[in-house]
Amino acid sequence: MTLYWLLSVPAHGDGHVAWRDIKSRIGSSDLYDFSLPTFKIGTLDGLVRLSDDLAKFDSAYETTLTKFTDTLRSLNPTVTASQLQAQLTVDGGKSVDQYLRTFAWDNAKYRVDRPLVEILGQVAEQMGQVDGQLKSKLTQYNAIKGSLATVRRKQNGNLSHCVRDSEYLQTLFVAVPRSLASEWLNTYERLATMVVPRSATPVAEDSEYILYSVVVFKRAADEFTTRARDARFTVRDFVYDEEALERERRMQMEVVEQETELLGNLSEWIKRQLADFYAYLETSTRASDRARKTGKAGKGSLPASAAAAAAAAAADGAFDMHEFSSILSSEYTPFVFFEIPWTFFGQE
């Protein structure tokens, strides 16, 4: 599991000064400027309400993203998690880490001259639309997938052994209840005087019946049909039609092609939606501890304005992040701190 930290520190009236100060204090850890524009923040009461709304929206957004990744994984069961992760890129082919290092606010998409509440509403609306589109696309794909399952069940019925163009022999198809399958196999050869021995072959089946083909002499077909019915075996009407079978084979190929195309389109669509990604920054436990101490040390002299910054490094320390988070939530700090744990397909 990767842990991302977002840290916003007071700016001393100059964001560049604050940036150089925190970078010098954190030391060798990677630090990246998370540049944000000046927003129209409105009143304090409005910000409090917006904060509550944002918490609810964040939970819903996480649920939607989880749904997307789970769907993508189910659509590509043979692809490993690491392979899928490599395919999921952000902002024109960047990895998540590359994107975070070069993050820039998309003002064309989310205009900063609009109030924050409108920006949040815009994002929430877009996520609702995307979630609805996913449901619609999944419904369409599952319908084709169901048709494909039906087609494949039909494909399992092998008609290559059917007797065709014979002057004396005829192939009959018999629906046998599953509970009577053993009785059928033991008695079918004696249901008429002219049944080809060992000719019964299973063609298809479902939860209730097994469909068998059996070869008999044409003049014994009526006798066989009557005696089979008396034994609770049902002879089905069937006329071998090569043209009809060819039409069915073409239809089967079309359904397979549709399923393959929809699968590819849906997978690519999910990847594009996941590319529209909220950015967070990764940090190590040691860097986080230093960042906290840095903020604490200067809290008496730092003004209230803030500049966005974030630190990222490999997790190389034994510091307890959960304990640290509880300290941050219970003690006053002159900076804003936000933590987001990130996992990909359940990886730890």
Return the CATH number at 141: 1.20.1460
Residues 231 and 314 in one domain: no
For 127, residues 6+ apart whose C-beta sits below 8 A from its C-beta are: 57, 60, 61, 64
- Tell me whether residue 153 is in a domain: no
Q: What is the pLDDT of residue 244?
A: 64
DSSP string, 129-182: HHHHHHHHHHHHHHHHHHHHHHHHHHHTS--TT---S-SSEEEEEEEEEGGGHH
347 in a structural domain = no
Give pLDDT tens digits for 136-164. Answer: 988 888 888 888 777 666 655 555 567 77
Does residue 286 sit in helix, strand or coil?
A: helix
* 239, 269, 286 - which closes a domain: 239
Q: Same domain, yes or no, for 174 and 127?
A: no
Residue count (the chain): 348
Comparing CA positions, the residue from 108, 109, 83, 211 lying closest to residue 158 is 211
Same domain? For 228 and 112 the reply is no
Domain assignment of residue 14, yes or no: yes
Give the whole-angstrom CA distance, residue 34 versus residue 8.
9
Q: Are residues 42 and 176 in the same domain?
A: no
Is 5 strand, coil or helix?
A: strand
Non-local (6+) Cβ contacts of 114 within 8 A are 40
Instruction: Give a yes or no: residue 255 inside a domain.
Output: no
Is the domain of 80 the same as that of 204? no
Same domain, 131 and 193: no
What total of structural domains would you count in the chain? 2
- List b or e across 329-344, with b for residues whose CB sees 16 or more CB atoms inside 10 angstroms: eeeeebbebebbeeee
Pair (24, 124) in one structural domain: yes
In this structure, the answer to whether residues 209 and 268 fall within a common structural domain is: no
β partners of residue 306: 10
Distance between CA atoms of 316 and 291, rounded to whole angstroms?
15
10 Å Cβ neighbour count for 273? Answer: 19
In the chain, which residues have pLDDT < 50? 278-321, 324, 327, 348
Residue 161 included in any domain: no
Find residue 8's DSSP bridge partners: 308, 336
pTM tops 0.95, yes or no:
no
Q: Please list, in sequence order, all residues whose beta carbon lies within 8 angstroms of the beta carbon of residue 214, skipping any fewer than 6 positions away.
A: 171, 172, 173, 174, 188, 195, 196, 199, 200, 201, 224
8 and 120 housed in the same domain: yes
Same-domain pairing of 14 and 110: yes
220 and 329 share one domain: no
Residue 326 lies in a domain: yes
Domain boundary among 239, 271, 297: 239
**Contact 269/137 with Cβ under 8 angstroms?**
yes
Q: What are phi and psi of 315, to 5 degrees?
A: -80, 95
Angle (deg, nearest 10), helices 242-274 and 116-155: 160
Which domain covers residue 177, as residue numbers? 169-239
Q: Do the domain assignments include residue 244?
A: no
Residue at 118 is within a domain: yes
Which CATH number belongs to the domain containing residue 233 in this structure?
Answer: 3.30.70.100
Q: pLDDT tens digit string along 164-187?
A: 778 899 999 999 999 999 999 999
Q: Residues 280, 283, 285, CA angle at the centre, nearest 5°?
A: 140
Q: What pLDDT is attached to residue 297?
A: 43
pLDDT computed for residue 195 by the predictor:
95
123, 184: one domain? no
